[in-house]
Structure 1
Amino acid sequence: MFCGMTRLHTTLRRMRMRAGLVAGAALAMLAAATFLTAVNANAAAGCQVVYTNASQWGGGFVANVSVTNLGDPINGWNLRWTFPSGQAVTNAWNATISPSSGTVTATNMSYNASIPTNGRVEFGFQGSFSGSNTVPASFTLNGTACTGTLNPSNPGSPSSPRPSSPSPSQSSSQPPTQNPRAVVAAMQPGWNLGNTFDATGQGETSWGNPAVTTAQLDAVKAAGFKSIRIPGTWMQYQGAGPSWTIDAAHLARYKEVVDWALARDLYVMINVHHDSWQWINQMPTNQAGVLERFNATWTQLANTFRNSSPKLLFESNNEPQFANGSGEAQYIELNNQLNASFRNIVRASGGNNATRLLVLPTLNTGNEQTKVDGLASAMASYNDPNLVATFHYYGYWPFSVNVAGGYRFDATVQSDLTGAFDRVVNAFNARNIPVILGEYGLLGFDRHTGTIEQGEKLKYFEFFGYHARTRGITTMLWDNGQHLNRNTLQWNDSELFNQIRSSWTTRSGNASSDQVYVSRTGAVTAKSLTLNLNGLTFTGLYQGSTALVQGTDYTVSGSTLTLTQPAVTRLVGSRAYGVNATLSARFSAGVPWRIDVITFDPPVLTSASGTTAAFTIPTQFRGDQLATMEAKYSDGSFAGPHNWTSFKEFDVTFAPNYTGNTIALKPEFFAEVTDGRAVTLTFHFWSGTQLTYTVTKSGSSVTGTA
């Protein structure tokens, strides 16, 4: 990730430093299941199928299917079977599979339509299941039952697709390394050790995180993560060219941490990280110099890790970007040059690097069609089966940082995500290339996770997890220390992490809001929310462990949940400002949806004076919470930064302090306000209340009027 990168289309601004209970379920399931389960349909003639569950984890699996034609040559084929345990296909390669569940049909691609007599075709898919994952019992090829045998007297013949046997050393996180899709699927979910070895200062603690310990890695694995990305920035540890020698002590420390992670049976991905914007971006004007340093860097890294476990992946370059060139077409070509050079260096270094999975990024790790197509076509030309594509996704930008009125998880946010995922998956799946989403989160998390309101944030991550899972995208959570507290080894926002973790295996229900506001001075009335069932069933409403009574405390009509007036009266109690009661809506799967019942009155703002460096508005919040702020001059034009919108960026231009009873207007806001012109601020609160306030800047002095 860029140090605090924000995006609006292709706009970049100045960077700032970035400030899993499925494991137990998966292990329990795997303890009762064999890692490699195969079926041979063998009795008569026509065809033979070997169906192998090559990898399995909580709620997901990868299956490989081998089909041998024992009859006349075939040009165009379909294989049909029925899933016995309700399994569903989420992603397939070397075949198209439809429908996704029940009785399904796998159909050839254009390049593997022909199967000669005794010839074989192979395809695979990623799937989901609940409960058991029983292997299908029978198959038909172009309508003919596959009941034949192949070389039964010599099952070890190279032409015989023999089922794999389980090995005591294998586990669900160790699929065959020659199957990139199975490896990438087994890496789900992943986590980033951010702001550590990627820091541009001296040492892994220079950006505020503690030194890495084995206990930290144990906590990551215990949370359910199967892979860890360990970004590395190398520039400050390198000597002069042309050798660009990396400091031996630093490289040894980096390798020590990588080895710790590998020893814990985690997949690991390493890379060249913030070098991308420190010196690699000068490639348009210094191509030879940048290539010399890039190649020297990867030559050293490749040699250091050449004999490391195949569970170690190399990533070419983080968020590749370029400056002072002719534009995107040139930049895509330069990125392809770096990726090609990286691949050639690693492959030539020998050892496990000859077949190691190599991860190649799109330009900027973006998902725009031109960037995706540019990388996909280049990767196809390498004729290397052990390649993986990567991109990053931090959400629809206005929502991701809470600017331009993007403070709600709405249809625009959803469309941006599904479009990004579809573009990437469609381009690379067509070329049989697996995809890793190397970083995800929300850009507002660079400051803290409260930039986006909690309920809107939770809905986003539920939606994100579902769509990544159904498209077979392996995801790696960006964590610069804002998620896992690396000192206490506790998750800073357990509610958020529980939602993320749940989304790895299932959907969760939620509602239009996680807040019900009740006026302190007005009459108490019934309150309604819209339920988002997400394919689930609503099972009840609870206060703690106590079930509320449907028909008395609440009603459900279609997707509308209504708290009755008597229930609301009881829940608000003495009607003190703030949260008076917390409820949870439960569904047939996933995590419950928290609903806070809040007593409020409209906030009160007070006139004040101060300076552009320190100006705060005294505020009585009275139970309410701030959603966003608009800023306009008297003629209606937009004031402050991002002057293409009236809605300013949360935490960057303004920030509420609920314990201090103030709203701060930041120096960044006044830096782009015209001297002497009154600015009308409109504060939008989550209760629906809107209040106006006027500020005027004169030099470094500011006056504010309620």
Structure 2
Amino acid sequence: MHSLRTVRLRIGAVLGVVVALLTAGTLTAVTAQAAAGCGVTYTVTAQWSGGFTANVNVTNTGDPINGWRLAWTFPSGQQVTQAWNTTVTSSGAQVTAANTSWNTAIATNATVSFGFNGSWTSANTAPASFTLNGFTCTGGGTGPSPSPSPSPSPSPSPSPSPSPSPRPGDAMATVAAMRPGWNLGNTLDAIPDETAWGNPLTTQAMLRHVRSQGYKSIRIPITWSNHHGPAPAYTIDAAWLNRVRQIVDWSLAEGLYVLINLHHDSWQWINTYPADSTTVTNRYIALWRQIAGTFRDSSPKLLFESINEPQFTGTSGDDQNYQVLNTLNTEFVRLVRQTGGANATRVLVLPTLYTNGDQGRLDALRSTFDSLRDPNLAATVHFYGWWPFSVNIAGGTRYDSNVEQDLIGTFDRVRDTFVSRGIPVIIGEWALLNWDHTRPGIIERGEFLKFLEAVGYHARVRNLTTMVWDAGQFLNRATLQWRDQGVFDMMKASWTTRSGTASTDQVYVPHSGTIPGQTLTLNLNGTTFQGLRQGTTNLVQGTDYTVSGTSLTLTSAALTRLAGNRAYGVNATIEARFSQGVPWQISIISSDPPSQAAATGTTSSFVIPTQFRGDQLATMEAKYADGSPAGPANWTPYKQFWDHFQPDYSANTITLKPDFFAEVNDGRVTLTFHFWSGRQLTYSITKSGTTVTGATT
């Protein structure tokens, strides 16, 4: 992401279910001069409602094999839905997994690995036995000893020379093991240095804390532009490279998978490729050759990502953009593989154009994968949700069907284009663009919680690995505390289960007078409603609330008691509890209708006096006298929260920003302020040059 915008998980329901099956059976020699033997480790690495991911390691303890078929029967009727590093055929519960073109041979005492996603209904019992090429696996072999001639398996010490055809690892299993992931945003990618964008220096204690919170991987965005010398060598500053290596090594030492990249280089100089392809290519190759050389022998838990959010200027359109990106991604894979060592099979991550999830972008990257035919690659896209909701413009204040369908559509396209074909996917960044602790109120908290819950679920069931973008808006790195514990709790719960929510997390009651009962709609998300609680006290069904289907009604008596003295603002918080996941908090808020007063000012500073009286602003409309939208984004009357208008509850004001007036014509504009209680206020402003006057209507 362009982290100048200050803010910016699939995680399977990892159960840690590991079943090692070394079952006894009858061992028979293939011929008088050959012996067979094998051991199988079958591991369920993730499981969720109706689905699971499994990894299978097959060790050949007999004579060398050239061509293999592993067969088993699912005792609970499970089905394989997709597989990687193998070709699977099924007949009912009977399954056969065969070698691919690149893993035909298994030397004596060598192991081949593959994985698959499967479905289950009543149970997910592990297979009881396996046969390899017709022989039951026992974990050991008998018969003639293996030939003392050199083993055809790769040497355990990687050759420094490049491998012309990288030995396949298990990219799908690697990426699955990375979920959930976290971004060290606005740090090594900051310009010009690590602390320039407000974050403290990274410490190993901070990385340890991230790991302790349940994260399995860390993406370390790195901008290299300001930290290397001139052409032709483009030598990376030794101090900068050592600092990068230190943070990478700390992360690996904490047990985290690590992903590093070229980050803001994408728009600083890589984007000029069409006009100066030679210079960009030389610089790109020089940097990646040095980075790859530095980490040549690092753990395979370190991954490389070619470019962050690639984009190009001066092209003729997407077709040329796709060609340029294909060239750079292909060059990246070629040069990293040439450096040898662990880089010969290291998982390399390739982005779509703009790291966008539209189908055209996905298809173009899929073509690159098809041409490279490298089993150790992963794809990456970013996801910041439906844009109007992500920034609060065009009335996008709620997690509604637009937001959900955008999420589902994106994740379905990514799954169908890559994951279903055995190519793992990393959602390398995700969040909402304008969720930020420094700009509160842009995104309503409960609506954000619904988004978090949905992203976790929809990514998890599609086998997508997510890495949340955290530029400091989630984790306070100075104190190592979550800025909003409830937000993190919802995010973490989504890694393994679903949580129930409701149509709102706010119930507004009048500051005085009779308080009527109010009804909310429960979003059960596969859970069952268990009841309401305030602190440690359970509310009484039938007296304090009633439930009919998904309708939850809080009674007048309960709301009157909870509102207490009815001071403006939040009077009480209750929790709706469900059969799983985190409780849904509901705030009981006392308020009166807001009011405003006349004002004068200029286009550079215009402030509307506003008595909020316990209410909170959701959005603002602006229209000319003829009803057409006024101000920026003139395709919608609803303006962008904070960029165009900003409430200040402590000062009792709403400020109209210069960016709003920059695109407002002289004359009268009617503003409509929408509040979360459902109330509205209309206000009229008149602009004449740089002078602005305002009055209530």
Q: Measure how far apart 1:700 and its partner are.
A: 2.3
Q: Measure how far apart 1:149 and its partner are.
A: 6.9
1:671 — aligned with what? 662
The 5 A counterparts of 1:20-419 are 37-40=20-23, 42=25, 52-54=41-43, 56=45, 62-65=53-56, 80-83=73-76, 92-93=83-84, 94=86, 123-126=114-117, 135-137=126-128, 152-153=141-142, 178-201=169-192, 203-419=193-409
> Aligned AA for 2:642?
D
> Aligned AA for 1:510?
T
Q: Measure how far apart 1:320 and its partner are.
A: 0.4
1:563 — aligned with what? 554
Q: Matches of 2:421 and 2:230 in 1, distance apart? A: 40
Q: Measure how far apart 1:258 and its partner are.
A: 0.8
Q: Matches of 1:572 and 1:155 in 2, distance apart? A: 84
For residues 85-133 of structure 1, give each alpha carbon's deviation from its aligned partner in whole angstroms, at most 9, with x where no partner exists.
Answer: xx9989754568999xxx9676889989xx99xxx99752257999x98
- Whether the 8 Å CA contact 2:508–2:588 is kept in 1: the answer is yes
- Whether the 8 Å CA contact 1:580–1:597 is kept in 2: the answer is yes
> Aligned AA for 1:601?
D
> Aligned AA for 1:630?
E
Give the direction of change, closer, same or farther, for the CA distance of 1:368–1:512 in structure 2 (3 Å limit): same
Structure 1 residue aligned with 2:641, among 625, 646, 650? Answer: 650
Q: Matches of 1:157 and 1:562 in 2, distance apart? A: 74
Give the direction of change, closer, same or farther, for the CA distance of 1:90–1:698 in structure 2 (3 Å limit): farther
1:680 lines up with 2:670 in the alignment? yes
Q: Matches of 1:104 and 1:598 in 2, distance apart? A: 56
SS at match of 2:244: helix
- Whether the 8 Å CA contact 1:580–1:596 is kept in 2: the answer is yes
Give the direction of change, closer, same or farther, for the CA distance of 1:505–1:156 in structure 2 (3 Å limit): farther
Structure 2 residue aligned with 1:529, among 511, 515, 520? Answer: 520
1:617 — aligned with what? 608
- Whether the 8 Å CA contact 1:395–1:413 is kept in 2: the answer is yes
> Aligned AA for 1:414?
E
- Whether the 8 Å CA contact 1:438–1:475 is kept in 2: the answer is yes
- Scaled by the length of structure 2, the TM-score of the pair is 0.85
2:156 — aligned with what? none
1:7 — aligned with what? none
Q: Measure how far apart 1:254 and its partner are.
A: 1.1
1:437 lines up with 2:424 in the alignment? no
Q: Measure how far apart 1:43 and its partner are.
A: 5.3
For residues 669-688 of structure 1, give each alpha carbon's deviation from its aligned partner in whole angstroms, at most 9, with x where no partner exists.
Answer: 111111x2111111111111
2:151 — aligned with what? none
Q: Matches of 2:508 and 2:175 in 1, distance apart? A: 45
Q: Measure how far apart 1:695 and its partner are.
A: 1.5
Structure 2 residue aligned with 1:542, among 533, 536, 540? Answer: 533
- Whether the 8 Å CA contact 1:219–1:489 is kept in 2: the answer is yes
Structure 1 residue aligned with 2:590, among 599, 607, 610? Answer: 599
- Whether the 8 Å CA contact 1:151–1:157 is kept in 2: the answer is no
SS at match of 1:445: coil
Q: Matches of 1:589 and 1:145 in 2, distance apart? A: 44
Higher mean C-alpha displacement, 509-518 vs 605-614: 605-614
Give the direction of change, closer, same or farther, for the CA distance of 1:489–1:522 in structure 2 (3 Å limit): same
> Aligned AA for 1:153?
T
- Whether the 8 Å CA contact 1:95–1:106 is kept in 2: the answer is no
> Aligned AA for 1:479?
D
Structure 1: give runs of 5+ residues left out of the alignment: 5-15, 69-73, 159-175
1:459 lines up with 2:450 in the alignment? yes
Q: Measure how far apart 1:218 and its partner are.
A: 1.2
- Whether the 8 Å CA contact 1:631–1:640 is kept in 2: the answer is yes
> Aligned AA for 1:3?
S
Q: Matches of 1:630 and 1:110 in 2, distance apart? A: 62
- Whether the 8 Å CA contact 1:362–1:375 is kept in 2: the answer is yes
For residues 421-454 of structure 1, give each alpha carbon's deviation from its aligned partner in whole angstroms, at most 9, with x where no partner exists.
Answer: 1111111124321111100000113664642101
Higher mean C-alpha displacement, 148-157 vs 388-397: 148-157
Larger relative contact order, structure 1 or 2 (CA cutoff 8 Å, min sep 6): 2
Q: Matches of 1:98 and 1:443 in 2, distance apart? A: 45
Higher mean C-alpha displacement, 412-421 vs 46-55: 46-55
Q: Measure how far apart 1:358 and its partner are.
A: 0.5
Q: Matches of 1:122 and 1:215 in 2, distance apart? A: 35
Higher mean C-alpha displacement, 187-196 vs 49-58: 49-58
Q: Matches of 2:189 and 2:638 in 1, distance apart? A: 33
- Whether the 8 Å CA contact 1:195–1:480 is kept in 2: the answer is yes
> Aligned AA for 2:536?
S
Structure 2: give runs of 5+ residues left out of the alignment: 31-35, 60-66, 106-110, 148-166
- Whether the 8 Å CA contact 2:75–2:125 is kept in 1: the answer is no
> Aligned AA for 2:41?
T
- Scaled by the length of structure 1, the TM-score of the pair is 0.84
Give the direction of change, closer, same or farther, for the CA distance of 1:214–1:75 in structure 2 (3 Å limit): closer
SS at match of 2:418: helix
For residues 584-631 of structure 1, give each alpha carbon's deviation from its aligned partner in whole angstroms, at most 9, with x where no partner exists.
Answer: 001111000001111122111111112222222111111111111111
Give the direction of change, closer, same or farther, for the CA distance of 1:83–1:51 in structure 2 (3 Å limit): farther
Q: Measure how far apart 1:519 and its partner are.
A: 2.1
Identity of aligned residues (%): 55
1:469 lines up with 2:446 in the alignment? no
SS at match of 2:74: strand
Q: Matches of 2:674 and 2:527 in 1, distance apart? A: 33
Q: Matches of 2:75 and 2:636 in 1, distance apart? A: 54
Give the direction of change, closer, same or farther, for the CA distance of 1:563–1:134 in structure 2 (3 Å limit): same
- Whether the 8 Å CA contact 1:54–1:182 is kept in 2: the answer is no
Q: Matches of 1:686 and 1:90 in 2, distance apart? A: 45
Tell me how many residue pairs correspond in the alignment: 653
